[in-house]
Amino acid sequence: MRRSLLVPVLSLLAPALLAGGSLVAQSHGPTAKPASNVKGAPAGPHWAYEGAEGPHAWGRIDAAWRACSVGREQSPIDLGGTVMARQGRIAERFVSTPLVLFNNGHTVQAALEKASTLTIDGTPYASLQFHFHHPSEHTVRGKAYPAELHLVHKSAKGELAVLGIFIEIGARENPAFEALIAKLPHTSGDSVPFKAPVDLAALLEDRPGADEAVYAYHGSLTTPPCSEGVRWTVRERPVAVSFRQMQRLVAVLGESARPVQPVFDRR
Ligand SMILES: [Zn+2]
């Protein structure tokens, strides 16, 4: 499953990267070490993206993670088929904020000091963090992008909403991403503070007030415990980074995507 998903991703990358071996072999292996043994990593049972503790096993590793196996509204999913794009405005008021990048052994996560606000059906959700996956977790008509960013929000009642943005490879360096990519924490447990505010609107190429094609559906966390009740908004328009920038991001992330899940009776 993972191998087949990687094929279209690898084909997007230039031969220079492939010459050095697979993307995963080149990575600094955040998924190779048990996160629970790493200083600063979250406590709890270990899980991985491959092998005996991979996605197929998550629901059996811990009783609290059963939704990973039996949930009927799991994420990610394939988009563009049953779940179609619609035109709409992403009602997010983005703010610039200091942040701390942290390598938690599964991904690189940015803890945000000041919250941006995403409003869905009148309910405000405050952003907590964003993080990355390689390749993208959502696919569009079966095709994965090289990476996906998830901006995770919480409402006052504790409900979660995630804005997903695909990252593709373009011709130019992306200056907004460069600031982050130049200082990624390479080792599990490492963190890098950004005291100067990072402009999230620039980073995510926000077009305030413009109609966008978006996929909206009810899903789950894409990592254990796979909790459901998450409001997903995935923007169709990706952001682009250069090949070199993607190479550096992927070297830190390694393979970090849950396979797509059945849609069941969601629309
Ligand atoms: Zn995620």
Helix (H) or strand (E) holding 26: helix 23-26
**Cα–Cα distance measured from residue 150 to residue 221, given in angstroms and rounded to the nearest whole number:** 11
Q: Is the pLDDT of residue 15 over 70?
A: no
CB 162 within 8 A of CB 230: yes
Question: From CA 38, how far away is CA 36, in angstroms rounded?
Answer: 6
**Residue range 112-139: average pLDDT?**
98
Q: With cut-offs at 50, 70 and 90, classify the pLDDT of residue 238.
A: very high
Least confident of 35-49, 120-134, 223-237: 35-49
The predicted structure's pLDDT at residue 216:
96
Among residues of the chain, what percentage have pLDDT more than 90? 81
Average confidence score pLDDT of the chain: 87
Is 37's pLDDT higher than 70? no
Ligand 1 center–CA 19 separation, angstroms: 29
- What's the gap in Å between 262 CA and the centre of ligand 1? 18
- Residue boundaries of the structural domains of the chain: 2-253
Q: Which of 28, 106, 153, 186 is catalytic?
A: 106
Task: Assign 44 a pLDDT band (cuts: 50, 70, 90).
Answer: confident
The residue among 85, 89, 83 whose CA lies nearest residue 263 is 83
pLDDT given for residue 267 in this prediction: 72
| C-alpha 232 to ligand 1 mean position (Å) | 11
| Mean pLDDT on 136-150 | 98
- Once rounded to an integer, what is the mean pLDDT over residues 205-228? 96
State yes or no: pLDDT of 166 exceeds 60. Answer: yes
Active site residue 138: no
| Residue 22 CA, ligand 1 centroid: distance in Å | 22
Burial code (b: 16+ CB inside 10 Å, e: under 16) for 14-36 equals eeebeeeeebbeebbebbebebe
Q: What pLDDT does residue 71 have?
A: 98
Confidence band, pLDDT 50/70/90 cuts, at residue 34? very low
| Ligand 1 centroid, distance to 178 Cα (angstroms) | 21
Which DSSP state fits 143? Answer: B
* pLDDT higher at 106 or 33: 106
Binning pLDDT at 50, 70 and 90, where does residue 42 land? low
Residue range 2-253 in CATH 2.60.40.10: no
Q: Tell me the CA–centroid distance for residue 244 and ligand 1, in Å.
A: 23
pLDDT at 259: 98
8 A C-beta contact, residue 195 and residue 214: no
Query: Residue 43: which pLDDT band, with cuts at 50, 70 and 90?
Result: low
For residue 195, give both structure tokens. 């005291």
Average pLDDT over residues 82-95: 94
